[in-house]
């Protein structure tokens, strides 16, 4: 009986417990890489472990866990082909309503966590002339109402990614950004639960201002879960961004992301405002 050779290159995927992260880890493992799949709980790791896919405990807000993983990768000796900064959360509510602690939590995971991972892995990536893949979002190019914190974190990630790409190009490390639109993932469902909780905590004045909007956004999120791209399809694009010989600087996932990122580049702000408002208007509760 023949056995497959041991993979000679490593790829790190953060936020790999479920959704796009888990699907991306599986896709990269199937392409012959040894994937280090960052999970927060051992039970999550047991659920995804397979040939070439090795779960590692990694909370991107815990600097000591990131440092331990970087040391483990250095000790392994195999080149680090890429890191896929995928970990993320979505906390949606109007700017007035969202508590500042939730703003900080959003940025700690979606932005500062990625920067910490990238800084820690750069010595290995510089040695291997590897790649950084940042998982942004349609929300990193276009901010819908109630997406202030989420889009803020993704806009920041896009800006840093552009700077990083230009800094590292002379040293052989490439940077690619992936901008998914509606994808059927657990994160969307968890975001909807959080939105409902925050909506229930609004003051009567806030309810009058934003109640209909929150209802519409929740209905839109449910549509994402029903009609969005499957996570396995998103994973193929992310895997390509991580492994292509000459990667694009940006990839979109889904027709909505391709269309709306183009709108964001071309349409005047007020026109884009009207486009987004018209998409939400049918989802508002009907007046009695």
Local confidence pLDDT in tens for the 288 residues of the chain = 344 567 889 999 999 999 999 999 999 999 999 999 999 999 999 999 999 999 999 999 999 999 999 999 999 999 999 999 999 999 899 999 999 999 999 999 999 999 999 999 999 999 999 999 999 999 999 999 999 999 999 999 999 999 999 999 999 999 999 999 999 877 666 767 778 888 888 999 999 999 999 999 989 888 877 888 999 999 999 999 999 999 999 999 999 999 999 999 999 999 999 999 999 999 999 864
Structural domain contains residue 162: yes
Per-residue model confidence (pLDDT) at position 197: 84
Structural domain contains residue 258: yes
Residue 95: CATH number of its domain: 3.40.50.720
| Rounded distance between C-alpha atoms, residue 243 and residue 257, angstroms | 22
Structural domain contains residue 212: no
Residues 6+ apart with CB under 8 A from 169: none
Judge whether 58 and 270 are in contact, CB under 8 Å. no
Number of domains in the chain: 1
Structural domain contains residue 213: no
- Can you say whether residue 84 is alpha, beta or left, with left for phi > 0 and alpha for psi between -120 and 50 degrees? beta
Structural domain contains residue 197: no
pTM of the model: 0.93
Per-residue model confidence (pLDDT) at position 249: 98
Per-residue model confidence (pLDDT) at position 287: 67
Structural domain contains residue 137: yes
Catalytic residue among 147, 150, 210, 251: 150
Judge whether 171 and 164 are in contact, CB under 8 Å. no
Structural domain contains residue 136: yes
Is 210 among the catalytic positions?
no
Structural domain contains residue 202: no
Residues 6+ apart with CB under 8 A from 6: 34
Quote the domain boundaries for residue 101.
10-184+229-264
């Amino acid at each position: 009986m023949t056995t497959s050779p041991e993979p000679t290159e490593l790829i790190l995927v953060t936020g790999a417990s479920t959704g796009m992260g888990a699907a991306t880890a599986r896709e990269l493992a199937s392409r012959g890489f040894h994937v280090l799949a960052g999970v927060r709980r051992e039970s999550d790791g047991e659920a995804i472990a397979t040939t070439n896919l090795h779960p590692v405990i990694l909370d991107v807000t815990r600097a000591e866990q990131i440092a331990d993983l970087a040391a483990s990768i250095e000790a392994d000796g195999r080149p680090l082909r890429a890191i896929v900064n995928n970990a993320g959360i979505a906390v949606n509510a109007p700017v007035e309503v969202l508590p500042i602690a939730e703003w900080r939590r959003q940025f700690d995971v979606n932005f500062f966590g990625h920067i910490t991972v990238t800084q820690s892995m750069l010595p290995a990536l510089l040695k291997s002339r590897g790649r950084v893949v940042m998982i942004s979002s349609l929300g990193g190019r276009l901010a819908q109402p109630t997406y202030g914190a989420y889009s803020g974190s993704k806009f920041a990630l896009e800006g840093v990614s552009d700077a990083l790409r230009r800094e590292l190009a002379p040293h052989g490390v490439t940077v690619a950004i992936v901008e998914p639109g509606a994808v059927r993932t657990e994160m969307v469902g968890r975001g909807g639960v959080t939105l409902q909780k925050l909506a229930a905590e609004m003051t009567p004045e806030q309810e009058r201002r934003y109640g209909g909007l929150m209802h519409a956004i929740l209905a839109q999120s449910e549509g994402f879960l029903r009609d969005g791209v499957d996570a396995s399809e998103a994973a193929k694009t992310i895997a390509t961004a991580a492994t292509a010989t000459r990667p694009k600087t940006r990839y979109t996932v889904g027709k909505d992301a391709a269309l709306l990122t183009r709108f964001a580049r071309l349409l005047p702000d007020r026109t884009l405002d009207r486009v987004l408002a018209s998409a939400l208007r049918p989802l508002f509760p009907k007046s009695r």
